[in-house]
Structure 1
């Protein structure tokens, strides 16, 4: 392998290994959005403003359905969904990639298992408003998670291409809010 190719590969690996820098910071206003979503394969419109009325919402962006890291992240959120509910939070995943596969992705047990919705973000417009674009690409969401409070503010953010710590980070942030589920 020549030196130029080795350098290019090293830069690419380093870029993927480093956490992304999300622009929205705790305390900033989270953009409200409405998006075509699926829960257990059934379509509906997810409305962040409406969801916030019940408590905080974990909005997690992922690059594409049916890819290894995104499959793992969805599965981990699915396993922890009862803990999020006990802490009073709702979870929604958003992706600009493979949006035509989200209905199936939402119901497959090895992924979301019908336990939380995933929403389509064609053209990554919502991801852009959250500064959650993968490598600055205009068509793909990054792996960035936010806790959005009932009053529409960012309470926490976790941005890292490694899917393994998003759930713990977001659950810890929701629990730190000290809320209980609405009855």
Structure 2
């Protein structure tokens, strides 16, 4: 797993390229969610959106990442009134680099998918903390607390 923010460019929900390097200079919360408009992903994205001003007041940017297409992410933003950046990792370049593209099991079948995970990077792009196999309830609050402790 990368100890510094990978130098990659993803596509945002408006279809525009977004380089992760654009976030350098301020802390970044990068949360990975398996699929837009599913219950857990919706709750998590809403929680980070509702707390976005708290993250901003601590100097941080927040971006959600999934394998969904930019169009699906755009629909997700509109339907759920989300305010965080949404980034498409359709080719799973970032997900694989950070070790969150995993084999999963459901109903006895194996498939590849995103593991719900969050990464907190400092303003210098160095990894401060990561959370794996995230449980949604209370997670955004825990990330904000870790951000404030790191400041």
Q: Check whether TM > 0.5.
A: yes
Match of 1:153 in 2: 126
RMSD: 2.1
Match of 1:78 in 2: 49
Task: Tell me which structure has the larger Cα radius of gyration.
Answer: 1
Partner Cα distance (1:99, 1:45) in 2: 10
CA 32–52 in structure 1, closer or farther in 2 if over 3 Å, else same: same
Number of equivalences: 146
Q: 1:47 aligns with which of 12, 19, 22?
A: 19
Structure that is richer in helix per residue = 1
Structure that is richer in strand per residue = 2
Partner Cα distance (2:112, 2:93) in 1: 8
Match of 1:176 in 2: 149
- Secondary structure (helix, strand or coil) at the match of 1:65 reads coil
Match of 1:57 in 2: 28
Query: Could you state the TM-score of these two structures normalised by the residue count of structure 2?
Result: 0.85
CA 46–139 in structure 1, closer or farther in 2 if over 3 Å, else same: farther
The answer as to whether partners of 1:128 and 1:138 remain within 8 angstroms in 2 is no
The answer to whether residue 104 in structure 2 is matched with residue 131 in structure 1 is no
Match of 1:33 in 2: 8
Partner Cα distance (1:44, 1:99) in 2: 9
Q: 1:115 aligns with which of 52, 70, 83?
A: 83
- Secondary structure (helix, strand or coil) at the match of 1:147 reads strand
Partner Cα distance (2:69, 2:22) in 1: 26
Match of 1:181 in 2: none
Q: Answer with 159-168 or 114-123: which moved more.
A: 159-168
Partner Cα distance (1:169, 1:135) in 2: 26
Unaligned runs of 5+ in 1: 1-22, 179-183
The answer to whether residue 40 in structure 2 is matched with residue 69 in structure 1 is yes
Unaligned runs of 5+ in 2: 105-109
Partner Cα distance (2:112, 2:124) in 1: 29
Query: Could you state the TM-score of these two structures normalised by the residue count of structure 1?
Result: 0.72
